[in-house]
Copies of this chain bind each other. A is one copy, B any other.
C-alpha cells in the first residue's frame, strides 16, 4: 500500500493494518467472516451475544493470524415483562401461518457473565467490545487483565464520556443510521438520537481515546468522511452482510438489494429493543414501534413461533431484516476482498488520488 492512514491510533492499539472493524452481527457472522477480514488486515469480530460459551470458544479457536475482536451484550434482563398483549396482537396472523407454540423457545440473549469471561481469558483476543454498556467493574478488570483492549459503544456524548470514565480503550460512536440494535444504555429520548455526522466530532471532542465510527458507512467515501470528522476507525456491518460469508437467509439477502432497503426504520417489534431493519409485513401492518412488545430481549421469544413458521415457507414477514441506512451503497464481495478494496479506495480518497 503506497499511502498511510492519516490516523493510526486505533490500528496501533489493536494491531491491524487497516482501521476497519467488521461489525459483530449476532446471527449473521461466524468465524469464516472474521477470519477473512483478519487475513485482509482489518479487525475481524465474533459476535458472542447469542451463542453459548462452548460455541464461542470453539469458534474463536478456528480464527487466527491477526487481531480478533469478541463482542458481548451487557443488557439487564427485564424482571416483569408481560407478553400477553403482544401475543394477542400477533394471534391475528395465526390463521395464515399456523405457528407451533409448543416448540421450545429460542435461547435468551444472555448478558456477559462469568462463563464468557473465562472464555475471553482462554482465547485472549486482541479486543473485546461490549454493547448496551459495560459489565460490572470486576469483569471488565478481568477482560483487561487478559490482554484485550476494551471497546465500548456510545450513541450519545454522555454515553461516550461514561465509557471513557470507566477506562475503555476505544469508543464506538454509533449513529442512528446503524443496522440492528442501537447500543444505548443511558436514559434518552429515542427522538433525540444523533446521526453519525454530528455524533463523531462531538464524541471525538469529548474523549481522549480513539473513536470508531459506526452506522451508515457503506463504502470508501464513508471511511474517508468518518476520518475527516475525527474518527480513528470505522465499524461496518451492512457492507459485510452482503458478503458470501454472511449467514443471513436468502430472503434477507434479497431484501438488502431491494428498493425497501432505502427506507429502513428503527423498530422494537422483533426483540423489544430499538433496532434498524428493512420494513416487512409486520412493520407495514403495525408500524415500526409498538408499546405492547415486551422489553428487550423478551420480545424475541414471543414472536419466535410465528417467525419460524413463516421462515419455513421462505417468507420473511416476521424476520428481522436488519440493515443500516447504507445498504444501497454496498457491493456484494467476499469479505477479504471487500476489506482490501475499501481500504485501498479510502486511502486513495484521503490522499487525493481520485481528484
A residues near B (Cβ < 8 Å) are 6-7, 156-158, 175-177, 188-189, 191-192, 194-199, 201-202, 205, 215-219, 221-222, 224-226, 228-230, 262-266, 279, 288-289, 324-326, 328-329, 349-352, 355
Q: How far is the CA of A228 from the CA of B329 in the complex (A)?
A: 14
A183 to chain B, nearest CB (A): 16
Which listed residue (B175, B202, B265, B328) contacts A197, Cβ 8 A? B175
Does the CB pair A324–B198 fall under 8 Å?
yes
Q: Quick check: B228 and A201 within 8 Å, CB to CB?
A: no
* Nearest Cβ on chain B to A192's Cβ, whole angstroms: 4
Complex interface: chain B residues within 8 A of A157 (CB): 262, 328
Are B224 and A197 in contact, with the CB atoms below 8 A? no
Q: Which residue of B lies closest to A223 (CB)?
A: B228
B201 touches A218 (CB 8 A): yes
Determine if B325 and A198 form an interchain contact, defined as CB atoms under 8 angstroms apart. yes
Please indicate which of the listed interface residues A156, A189, A198, A288 has the most CB atoms of chain B within 10 Å of its own CB.
A198
Known: A195-B195, A198-B324. A189 touches B229 (CB 8 A): no
With A6-B355, A177-B195 known, 8 other A-B pairs at CB within 8 A are A7-B355, A175-B197, A197-B217, A197-B225, A198-B216, A198-B324, A198-B326, A225-B228
A221 with B216: in contact, given A177-B194, A262-B156, A326-B198 (CB under 8 Å)?
A: no
Q: Does A177 contact B189, Cβ atoms closer than 8 Å?
A: no
A219 to B198, CA, bound (A): 10
Q: What residues on B are CB-neighbors of A326 within 8 Å? A: 198
The residue that A191 contacts in the complex, of B194, B224, B266, with Cβ under 8 A, is: B266
Q: Nearest B residue to A329 by beta-carbon distance?
A: B201
Distance A198 CA – B152 CA, assembled complex (angstroms): 23
